[in-house]
Amino acid sequence: MLDVSRIRAISIDLDDTLWPIWPTIERAERALHDWMAVHAPMAAALFASPGALREIRDHMAHSRPELKHDLSALRRESIRLALYRAGENPLLAEAAFEVFFAERQRVTLFDDALPALTFLAERYPMVSLSNGNADVGRVGLGGFFRASISARAFGVGKPDPRIFHAAAGAVDTLPDHVLHIGDDATLDGLGGLNAGMQVAWVNRADAMWPHELEPHVTVASLTELVALLR
């Protein structure tokens, strides 16, 4: 059971907790393809093939394992490889990635996200905790957070307890005084539990909880969670 009296700070996931990620990624990939169609048409044709694109990403994941926590670098180097294989200028990778990255920051929040963030930030110091490459400042939510921790910057990602402990440290709080909020049962849920935090699992899709350890509370929306914290 959730013990509200223990909560001194909040850590919260971003993708699929505050906004749906796949519409954002699909839009960013379309923007990238449109840019490449003008500036690197042979590479754009290569990117248009799902099989070829998947092979490039798999190749990068195996050949550059040190990038596994840095989705920006992984995406940039995948673009560079596609340019090289297509006989285009690999130096275009930086500009191409910036097109993708700028669009990736244009997110559409879930309806409950902004009211929940406003409520939470008025009561607790908050830190964002993400394995992705969203920038809360560019997204327009930076004012809600005391700190923002990403797997890319920290070097390890969820569910490793160390990144959760770093989040607690960023708001000068012990892990058992932090409520972690997230949508992923393993990365957020089990990760937060193993780090000693209370966990609120945001289960928008009515999925089954797959682990033996249970979250402290399961909610279908952030609105439901806010009601429990009032």
**Do 161 and 184 reside in the same domain of the chain?**
yes
**Do 168 and 189 reside in the same domain of the chain?**
yes
Predicted confidence at residue 68, as pLDDT, reads: 82
Predicted confidence (pLDDT) per residue in 170-219, tens digit: 999 999 999 999 999 999 999 999 999 999 999 999 999 999 999 999 99
* Stretch 8-32: mean pLDDT: 96
- CB contact set of 50 (below 8 Å; sequence gap of 6+): none
Between residues 100 and 54, the one the model is more confident about: 100
The domain tally of the chain equals: 2
Is the pLDDT confidence value at 52 over 90?
no
**Do 36 and 14 reside in the same domain of the chain?**
no
Helix axes 113-123, 222-229, angle to 10 degrees: 30
Determine the residue type at 84.
Y
Classified as helix, coil or strand, 21 is: helix
Range of the domain at 122: 4-19+107-229
User: What single-letter DSSP state applies at residue 201?
Assistant: E
Predicted confidence at residue 65, as pLDDT, reads: 87
- CB contact set of 23 (below 8 Å; sequence gap of 6+): 108
CA 135-137-141 angle, 5° bins? 105
Last residue within a domain, chosen from 104, 132, 151: 104
**Do 10 and 118 reside in the same domain of the chain?**
yes
**Do 14 and 127 reside in the same domain of the chain?**
yes
